[in-house]
Amino acid sequence: MNQITADHSLIIRDLKPSEGYERLIEAQDAQTGLHALVSIHSLRRGPAAGGCRMFNYAKAEDAIYDVERLSRGMTYKNAAAELPLGGGKSVIIGDPKTQKTPALMRAFGAFIEHLAGDYYTAEDVGVSPQDMAHIAEKTAYVAGLEGGEFASGDPSPVTARGVFLCLRQTLKHGLGSDDLTDKKVAIQGLGHVGMSLAEMLHRAGAKLIVSDINAETVRTAEARLGASVTAPDAILHQDVDIFAPCAMGGALTADAIALLKARFVVGAANNQLADDSCGQRLQDAGILYAPDYIVNGGGIVNVAMEILKIDDPSYRESRIAGLATTLEQVFQRADETGEPPHLVANRLIERRLQ
């Protein structure tokens, strides 16, 4: 049913979600040009939580496909981190460079408020902490703020810590020791998470080979961490122990896997497998893959502290340590069944959702 809110020309309506999803809601606002969608995949473990992405989708169907895929991913990520949160995501259709205004963000905030706490939003691609502050003028159901009580700020260092722990766990499982001294790690992407991970690995004695399309960040890693630098298209075939994808999703294509020399893949990027068959390919190549949504759950743990209004750091620490515990459960089960870890992980999480 269409509903027009009081303080905007905001029209909100429920659309038919795909099978297996709880809700799909669309908002349009003539005054600010807002066109946004919220997908709620699951409320089974608690209110849905997941970021807001602003992107210039060519057509509404593309935005729906993306928001639903991402929302389902958040259900799995939140359950993997053992958070009392369900899965949801939102997208704003438009170019964040030219179409984003404070008024548009406030209208989006009014949309989120209308959902009455079934969905909490935070930053994703194209959306900044400053945008969150505008959204927060209209709703309490927002996290990733830089100031105020329980504000969690940039989640990247916490994400990197979770990746680091999972990387050690993967080594321990594969080699019987998590000692990183002189282990060679190739890091693809030295952004917020990648650089923080590189620093931790350097302190632990690992040898780093890094690549980024931004020349300045690789120079920093070279100077500060003694990292070897390689071109972005050469990072896959480095002779290393571990490959850590920390740039964009979809890095593990069939072609990419054929080039890999690493024995382990553990990284921060979302949706690393180009498709499910690539998980099997990694297994066939004798490469142990740590499923991305377990490994990179530190960020949502950080955001959850703000949503759940928890200021006890031990909650964060226990959830981050839990990522490595869950990962080990996945590896052990994969060893028992002979299945690739990404499939075992999905089943384990689906059991948590029941």
Please identify every residue annotated as catalytic.
Answer: 89
DSSP 8-class letter at 18: P
Q: Of the two residues 155 and 322, which places its CB atom closer to ligand NAD in the complex?
A: 155
Read off the tokens for 194.
């990648």
DSSP 8-class letter at 17: P
Cα distances from 256 to residues 185, 189, 190, 194, 274, in angstroms, run: 17, 15, 19, 19, 10
Instruction: Give the number of C-alpha atoms closer than 13 A to the C-alpha of residue 119, restricted to the C-beta side.
Output: 31
Question: Applying CB under 6 A, which residues contact ligand NAD?
Answer: 155-156, 159, 188-194, 211-214, 217, 232, 246-249, 268-270, 296, 299
| Residue 172 amino acid letter | K
- Within its chain, how far is the Cα of 331 from the centroid? 21
The rounded distance, in Å, linking the Cα atoms of 157 and 161 is 6
Q: Of the two residues 94 and 155, which places its CB atom closer to ligand NAD in the complex?
A: 155
Residue nearest to ligand NAD (CB): 191
Minimum CB–partner distance for residue 192 and ligand NAD (Å): 4
Residue pair 38/119 in contact (Cβ under 8 Å)? The answer is: yes
Helix H or strand E encompassing 244: strand 242-245
Phi, psi for residue 190 in degrees, rounded to 5: -115, 55
Residue matched to tokens 């329980």: 150
229 is in an annotated binding site: no
3-class DSSP assignment, residue 223: helix
193 is in an annotated binding site: yes
Q: Of the two residues 19 and 216, which places its CB atom closer to ligand NAD in the complex?
A: 216
Q: Of the two residues 161 and 184, which places its CB atom closer to ligand NAD in the complex?
A: 161
Q: Of the two residues 24 and 190, which places its CB atom closer to ligand NAD in the complex?
A: 190
Cα distances from 249 to residues 114, 116, 275, 292, 306, in angstroms, run: 32, 32, 11, 10, 26
163 is in an annotated binding site: no
Minimum CB–partner distance for residue 156 and ligand NAD (Å): 4
The rounded distance, in Å, linking the Cα atoms of 180 and 188 is 18
Closest CA to 90 of 60, 112, 57, 59: 112
Q: Of the two residues 180 and 198, which places its CB atom closer to ligand NAD in the complex?
A: 198
Minimum CB–partner distance for residue 267 and ligand NAD (Å): 8
Max Cα separation, the chain?
Answer: 62
Per the annotation, binding residues for NAD(+) are 189-194
Binding residues: 189-194
